[in-house]
Amino acid sequence: MVRLGERELRVPVRAKLSLLPVVLAALLAGCSSLKDDDKTASWSPNKLYAEAKDELSGGSYDKAIPLLEKLEGRAAGTPLAQQAQLDRAYAQYKAGDQAQALATLDRFIKLHPASPALDYALYLKGIVNFNDNLGMFAFLSRQDLSERDQKAAKESFEAFRDLSTRFPDSRYTPDARARMTYIVNSLAQYEVHVARYYYSRGAYVAAINRAQSALADYRDVPALEEALAILMRSYDKLGMPQLRDDTRRVLEKNYPNSAYIGGSGTRVGQQKPWWRFW
C-alpha cells in the first residue's frame, strides 16, 4: 500500500514537471508578443520626435502624448528630453487635460530651473490656467457666480507675472502682459458681478462688502465705476445718507459722465457691461 501511495504521489509531480517547459514557452511567447506590439522599440530618439511632431501637427494629441513620454525616457538628460516634456504639456493642454498639462509643466520648472525654454514653460502654464478659467468670466449666463473659484485666474496671473519679471525681453512677455491686464479687469468685474447679485436680492451689506473689496484691490479698471454705484445705492437702501453722499461725490469726481448719476435713471445692473461687445 505504501508503494502504491508513493507511485500515486509521484505521478502528479512528474505531470507538473512535464508542464514546466510548456509554461515557460508560453511566457516567452507572451513577452515576445508584447515586444513586437511596440513598433517604436527600434526607433531612434530623433525618429520618435519626428513622429510625435507629425501627430501634433495633425492634431492627434492622444497619439502624440505616448510617443513623447517614450522619447522623454529614452533621451533622458538631453535637450531633446526637455523638448519632449514641453511638447507633452502642450499636447495634454490641447487634448483638454489641463490638470496633467499643469503637472507636467510644474515638473519641468522644478527639474530645469536654468533651461533656456523656461520662459516658454511659464508662458504655457499661464495659458493653460487662462483658458481653463475662461468659463468663470462668461457672464452671459445668468447663473449665480458667487461661489465660483478664482484660483485658476490668479495662478495664470502669477505665471505671467513671473515670466514678465524674470524674462522681460522674452518673445512671450508682450502677450503675457496683455493677458495680465485682461485678468485684472476680469477679476475686478467678477467682484462687481457678485456685488450686483447681492444688491439685486436685497443683501445690501454683502453688496457693500464685495464692492469695497473691488475698490480696495484694483486700480484703474472699468468695473470700479459700477462698484461705486452699487456702494452708493446700498448705503441709500440701508438708510445711511452720509456714506451715500460721500460715495456719490467720489463717483462724480472720478466718473463725471457716469450713467449711474444724474437724471439718466439707469439702475445698477442695467447698464451695458464694459466687457460686452454687442
- Contact, 159 vs 175, CB < 8 A? no
- 19-36 b/e with 16+ CB inside 10 Å = b? eeeeeeeeeeeeeeeeee
pLDDT at 241: 95
Integer Cα distance of 225 and 217 in angstroms: 14
What are the average pLDDT values for consecutive 10-residue runs of the chain, which has 278 residues? Answer: 44 51 54 60 90 94 95 91 96 95 96 95 95 52 47 91 97 96 90 94 96 93 94 96 95 92 50 39
H-only helix segments in 58-172:
61-74, 79-94, 98-111, 118-132, 151-166
pLDDT at 261: 83
Instruction: Supply the CATH classification number for the domain 45-113.
Output: 1.25.40
Closest CA to 208 of 243, 182, 235: 235
pLDDT at 39: 85
pLDDT at 143: 40
pLDDT at 21: 56
pLDDT at 274: 37
Instruction: Please give the C-alpha separations between residue 104 and each of 7, 98, 124, 144, in angstroms, as whole numbers.
Output: 63, 10, 11, 33
- Can you give the residue ranges of every domain in the chain? 45-113
